[in-house]
Structure 1
Amino acid sequence: MIGDNLIKLRKKQGMSQSEVADLLKVSRQTISNWELNQGAPTIDKAKELAQLYDVSLDDLVGHNVEIISSKEKQSSEILKRLIGKICKIDCKEKSLYLDSPTKEQFVILDVNNQWIKVKYFRRTGIRLKKEEVIKLIDLDDINGFEVVGESDE
């Protein structure tokens, strides 16, 4: 049914019914009714929904098309399990590795939906003083992780 598809697509985008309603200039109750199959969007609103969710109109309203999505918009919850771990990070931005003595190994300090906060130590100066370096890396610039150990901290 179209209502089930609308729910899955909205959740995949990480949006609330109110947010969708605001974008389509309808009430939240209208979105709720569509999702409960107590009405259906007009053609123009269905087109807007298809564009919003980046699917074809046929896929949005098709009775023979089922939307499969086991989760909402990608969450950082899985990545939060990396906090406190020493990880190799495959990063698109190679400048991340320039001053890291272990090259691709970093302690993961924190993660949110946009950024990952990492730490490592480098030696600087004539006396090779140990210096802590902390960086925020855009999650979109990360290709993957490999856990290589636990942090002592």
Structure 2
Amino acid sequence: MLSQRLRTARKAKGLTQEELAERVRTTKGTISNYENNHSTPPNDMLMQLADILEVTTDWLLGRTDDGAAYVATASAQAGQRSLDELLQEKIDDPDDYYFLDGYLEASEEEKKEIRRYWYDLKKQWKTRQVRETRPPSLFDITEELKKN
């Protein structure tokens, strides 16, 4: 609950993980760990995050839904986001980062091949009616490859 609400509130405020980290004097990796449920902020950090994001600690922890009105309003006010902001969202997630790593620098031919492979894979999933399960993350796969 905390990880989802923290990410929602951060995005509603229009902040990147790095910007939020600067405001609470920590690292982008720490914020990423909180948002990906790899770690939990200590109480003093939780209070700082709530203050900066203008929500209550009770809302962040899922004890109340009172903060939801603010987040929905802020999200609506944010309106259309730039392509850079959308891309930053993907880069903030370690799994998406590893998936997208090198894509922007790839040649047009390489990009076409990646997209073609992706569409074929999605088509195979549909024809096999594969139910989505929780596969290992790209980060986990990468770490496993580094070990070998």
TM-score range, shorter chain: 0.3 to 0.5
- What TM-score do the two structures reach when normalised by structure 1? 0.44
- Which protein is richer in strand relative to its size? 1
- What TM-score do the two structures reach when normalised by structure 2? 0.46
Larger Rg: 1
Greater RCO between the two (CA within 8 Å, min separation 6)?
A: 2
